[in-house]
Structure 1
Amino acid sequence: MKINRIITIGLFLAMALLGFPTSLWSAEVVVLNSSSAGNLKLSKEALTAMYLKITGEIDARDFKTLKAVTINSTRILDLSEAEIVSYEGDEGCYAPITSDWMVDDRVWYHTYEANTLPIHAFAEVRDNSLSKWYEGSSTLRRLILPATLKNIEYDALRFNDMLTEIITPENSEFLVSDGHTIYTILVFTTDYYSIFYR
């Protein structure tokens, strides 16, 4: 009995001293550079990275690509050096809930504004054959917004119950945060308007 307890304690101490495999939860920053909007490619490292940083020009198509990692693995997404450009089309991250018998492709068509976090950026439609619903990221905890961001589109961050921290870069000319509220600063006045409150 004592020998089993000693062996168990010894194994725990050895694992603590040698360390657990950290590759499963590495805090190493994986940086993805988008050469042009709509062309973001996920590297092998990005698929399991907990801390992902995006640089360069991105649009709603890139947010659709990012869902492959932000829905299930990324904990920290840094967009501070990314610039969101406009996109108009049906290949973006907008994901309406439609009937199975609906075949009209125009439902997916959406106009995405520049410097705006797009609708359904971190949510996707789930389907169990009986019903459809939106589900957000189960892992995303911290989001660092782009310095050039001016607005957050409706439902861009909705359904992300695990998201606890949204950071506005200090050098942002358009947004300021105060606790759990993000405000947009109007250029011609000193008024603040809340664009996101959680």
Structure 2
Amino acid sequence: MAVDLPITGFSGIGALPVLGINTQRSEGGLVITSRRADPYWSGRLTSGPLSSSGDNERASLIAWLYNTVELNLRVDWVHPRHRMPRYYTAGTWPMVGNASLVDVPDLRTIVLSGLTNGLVLQRGDRLSIMQGDIIIHRWISADLVVSSTISQSIALTPRLPIGVLAPAAAVVLEDPKMRFMIVPESWRDSAGESYGPSPIAFEIQEALR
């Protein structure tokens, strides 16, 4: 079961992909890399200043964090600065609905149908791939102008997880969600360290389902 974050304002967002790559250097200077995991997003979210009086925002968020972790719930979240490709605003966004996944020729490329012809996508724009109860959040890794509404290739980074996706998924460019778990007991409540409203920070880690 996925839930929404009870806060919308943040003083810090530090979620970035962890590539899952180990490196070692031999005595001769050879660098050897090996993969220990598929890439996943991880980092820290920090709320805006929360009050301990009035509606008691602080107590509400802390209770929500404990409950979400205890019940092993997932959180669906949209980064407030990446709600659509950067070339567009809410008023100029030309698409209605989502694109469809047609093919996954390799772990760094997807082929879509249903994109608007002439749509401008830039390296660093975000999308999410939604298939059943799976959500995968990725960056677009190369600039492109959509030239086909039925078979458009898009390069992604970091690479997709192995053996997870198949065609017939929805690909979301407007409000692309990330699904994550909250790392247990990772939050820090600074209320005892200062007077007045102050933030709460907590660690997150992507969970595909």
* TM-score over 0.5 for the pair: no
Q: TM-score range by the shorter chain?
A: under 0.3
| Higher fraction of strand | 2
| Higher fraction of helix | 1
With a CA cutoff of 8 Å and minimum separation of 6, indicate the structure with the bigger relative contact order: 2
